[in-house]
Amino acid sequence: MPDTPVEGMMDGPYDPRMEMRVSRLEEDMRDVKAAIGRLDTGMIEVRETLTRIETLFLATFPHLATKAELSELRAEVKSGQAGMKAGQDGLRAEMKSGQDALRAEVKSGQDGLRAEVKAELANLRTDMNLELSKFRAELADKPGKVYLWGILGVLPTAYGCGLAALAVLK
């Protein structure tokens, strides 16, 4: 840096207090430069140590993720969650439409089954009425209880009369 005066040009020398202050500042600057030199050396040592630690860490724990990998993973998970939500919404809509279609199919099946059952019951009634008519006709051809009891009452009487007639004839 060029040596430029702090004060404007005067005929005499600088103020002696100013000279003392500048020389003290120059001395302090030498100390600061020396301290910075020591700090640079220390920083180099710290960098080397950190590099060794990083190398050792990466060799020991290669399976651990870095911040970039974690943020990338977070982004993937968020997009995956959004995709899953969209898939779930689509699946819900598909299931609802499937349920509605199944309900309609079951209802039409029930209606058809009801019609079949009604028709089958009507056929059974018709068949039963026909069979009952046949059975009544068969029963009408057969003698009734009163008739049979009458015959059972007359037979012993006729047997008794026949025995009495034999006894008289002898």
* Domain that includes residue 122, residue range: 97-160
Which residues of the chain fall short of a pLDDT of 70?
Answer: 1-14, 62
**In a shared domain, residues 101 and 155:** yes
104 & 154 share domain:
yes
Residue 170 is assigned to a structural domain of this protein = no
pTM exceeds cut of 0.85: no
Instruction: Determine the pLDDT at residue 1.
Output: 53
Q: With respect to residue 68, please indicate whether it lies within any of the assigned structural domains.
A: no
Tokens of 5: 């005066």
Distance CA 126, CA 130 (A): 6
Count of structural domains, the chain = 2
Cα dihedral sign, 118-124-126-129: negative
Domain presence at residue 9: no
